[in-house]
Every structure is written in C-alpha cells, then in structure tokens.
C-alpha cells in the first residue's frame, strides 16, 4: 500500500491487505467486511533504513558515490517508503576547536533529495554516537557488546558536552533543511541507549537521556525547528525501563521501540502487548512508534507484523522494512 504523508488504515482493510499479499485461503466461501467509517490506526510513516550501501552506485570521472536510480525506484516507488531513517553522522564535527565539516554528509543529503523527488515525504534521524570528542572515551565506537552496567564506563557523553550535542543536533537538522528544503520529521537523541556496541554507540541511564531530550528540544526551538523528538529506541520487551521520566517530558513527541528481544532476535509483540503499551503511552499524550526491526525481506511477515500492531487500534508510526542486521546487532553494512 503506497503511503503519502499520513496514511489511514480504515476498518478491516489491514486484514484484506494480508490476504492479498499471499495468505493461502481455505477452500469454500469467505466473507470480508470493510467498515469504511471507522479509523483504527493512523500511520505516521512507512519506510526503511536509508544507510544501506545498496542504494548507492559508484559513478563518474572520480568514482563518487551516487544514488542508484534503479535501487531508489524499488525503495521508494515499489516499496512505497514514505518515511526513511538515517544515522545522524557524528563525523561532521571532528574536534571541538574545528568548524563543522558538512561535506561528509553530502551523500546523505543527495539521497534525501533523490528520495524526496520520488515521493518520500518524511525523514527521521537517530544519533548512534555523539561526535567522538564529546565522549569520555574519545571514540565514537563502544568497547564491545554489553549492557550499560557492564563497563567500562567511558562510552558515555561527558557531562560538560550535553549542550554541545544538543546544539550539534539542531545545527544538523537545520543543515538538512537548508540543503534539501525538507525539515527532518523526527530525531532520536540516542539509538539503543542501554547497549555498548563495537560500532557507534553511547550509553545513557534514564535521567541522563531525559536531560538530553530536554536540552535538544530547547536547541531545536531556538532555531525555530519543529522537528519531533522520539525515543528511547530500546527493545520492545524491556524498553519500559526508560518510561518514568521520559513519558512525562513535554519535549518527547513519540515513544519509539525497536522490534527485538535483545537487539538481535526479532520480537514483534502480540496485539495485547501493543494494546498495553499504547494505553500507557497514549495516556501520556505521546505517539507510539516502532523504528527498527529485522526478519528478512518477507512481504507476508512484514504485513503480519503491521497487522499485529494494527490490532491495538491506534497510532503506530512504523519504519520496519529493509533494515539488515548482522550478528551482534550491527545496524548497517
């Protein structure tokens, strides 16, 4: 189903979509009832991860990366991606004493322009690591896989750099808008904040992450940006450890989960799980999003997952198709 802007799943239409995508029906008569007057779910966006190397091709005299038209057509036109998620690149501010180096995100900006021209309307970003110099370790990558309490305790943002990171996030969003004409739809201040990783990562406990949300909202407001903040982007099954302060933070627009049990193995939840989470989140006036999962490229699996979320009957923003995971829950190739 092609989505442009905000799509609405009405009545039992999602059931019909699953049937159309390949479910084998038993022989005999079957009745499907569509109730056109009732809206059960509003989808903020349907999309995928924008950092996949397959979207690029080497071309030109100097062999620069260019978005591949054929891959983009499949990604946007055929898949129907109305929303795409990118990493907020930490390398554009390599040292405190240096100016920004926005040229390092030229490919990302080019890809956004190409996707927009094909009909993608919304782009969201997620911080995987602050600029390296802002962390105690001085390294964007973490030491290894592990939970926040497993140390070493240097894969964290230095206390004196919270405002610097908030400023960088706001300036990054402003640069995206200035360069593409599109203001980022949303920003997560930290991807999977409870996990050390051997790639770009940073660990936060709840109070620290909540503080980062507040400071980032202030920085965005200072630039007149309406970019929404979402989080905590932790696991579906145990991300509630970040509920307490964040759901009461007026700077948080959407509660976002990842569809894993542990960062590797998929956990799509049941209809009851989604309903319970929605009741909590909606009671705090927040949207409910799922911003990352895995499970291959099965159309039927994707449709079934979306339908399960639909059964909770209210607003789930989704970004569930096309992200590939490697062992050790690596986010991108």
pLDDT at 39 over 90: no
Based on the number of CB atoms within 10 Å of its own CB, is 13 exposed (0-12), middle (13-18) or buried (19 or more)? Answer: middle
23-37, 109-123, 150-164, 270-284: segment of lowest average pLDDT: 23-37
Based on the number of CB atoms within 10 Å of its own CB, is 304 exposed (0-12), middle (13-18) or buried (19 or more)? Answer: middle
Q: Which CATH number fits domain 7-19+39-318: 3.40.50.300, 3.20.20.80, 3.30.2290.10, 1.10.230.10?
A: 3.20.20.80
CB-CB contact of 19 with 25 (8 Å)? yes
Phi-psi region of 325 (alpha: psi -120 to 50; beta: other; left: phi over 0): beta
Based on the number of CB atoms within 10 Å of its own CB, is 115 exposed (0-12), middle (13-18) or buried (19 or more)? Answer: buried
- Report the predicted TM-score, pTM, of the whole model to 2 decimal places: 0.81
Query: Residue 21: which pLDDT band, with cuts at 50, 70 and 90?
Result: very low
CB-CB contact of 126 with 191 (8 Å)? yes
Sequence spans of domains, the chain: 7-19+39-318
Instruction: Give tens-digit pLDDT for 68-105.
Output: 787 888 888 888 889 999 999 999 999 999 999 999 99
């Amino acid at each position: 189903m092609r989505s442009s802007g905000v799509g609405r799943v009405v009545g039992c239409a999602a059931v019909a979509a699953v049937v159309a995508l390949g479910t084998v029906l038993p022989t005999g008569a079957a009745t499907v009832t569509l109730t056109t007057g009732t809206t059960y779910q509003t989808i903020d966006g349907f999309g995928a991860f924008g950092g996949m190397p397959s979207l690029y091709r080497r071309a030109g005299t100097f062999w620069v990366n260019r978005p591949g038209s054929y891959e983009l057509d499949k990604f946007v036109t055929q898949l129907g991606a109305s929303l795409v998620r990118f990493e907020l690149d930490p390398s554009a501010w390599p040292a405190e004493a240096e100016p920004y180096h926005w040229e390092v995100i030229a490919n990302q900006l080019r890809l956004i322009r190409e996707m927009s021209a094909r009909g993608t309307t919304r782009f969201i970003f997620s911080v995987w690591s602050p600029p390296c110099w802002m962390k105690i370790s001085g390294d964007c990558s973490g030491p290894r896989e592990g939970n926040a309490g497993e140390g070493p305790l240097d894969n964290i943002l230095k206390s004196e750099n919270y405002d610097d990171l908030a400023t960088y996030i706001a300036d990054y969003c402003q640069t995206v808008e200035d360069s593409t004409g599109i203001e980022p739809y949303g920003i997560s201040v930290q991807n999977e904040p409870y996990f050390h990783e051997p790639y770009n990562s940073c660990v936060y406990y709840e109070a620290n992450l909540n503080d980062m949300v507040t400071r980032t909202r202030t920085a965005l407001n200072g630039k007149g940006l309406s970019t929404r903040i979402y989080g905590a982007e932790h696991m579906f099954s145990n991300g509630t450890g970040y509920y307490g302060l964040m759901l009461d933070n007026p700077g948080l627009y959407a509660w976002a989960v990842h569809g894993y049990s542990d960062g590797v193995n998929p956990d799509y939840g049941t209809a009851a799980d989604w309903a319970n989470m929605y009741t909590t989140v909606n009671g705090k006036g927040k949207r409910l999003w799922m911003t990352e999962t895995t499970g291959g490229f099965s159309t039927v699996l994707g449709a079934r997952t979306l339908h399960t979320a639909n059964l909770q009957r209210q607003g789930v923003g989704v970004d569930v198709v096309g992200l590939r995971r490697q062992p050790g829950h690596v986010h991108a190739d």
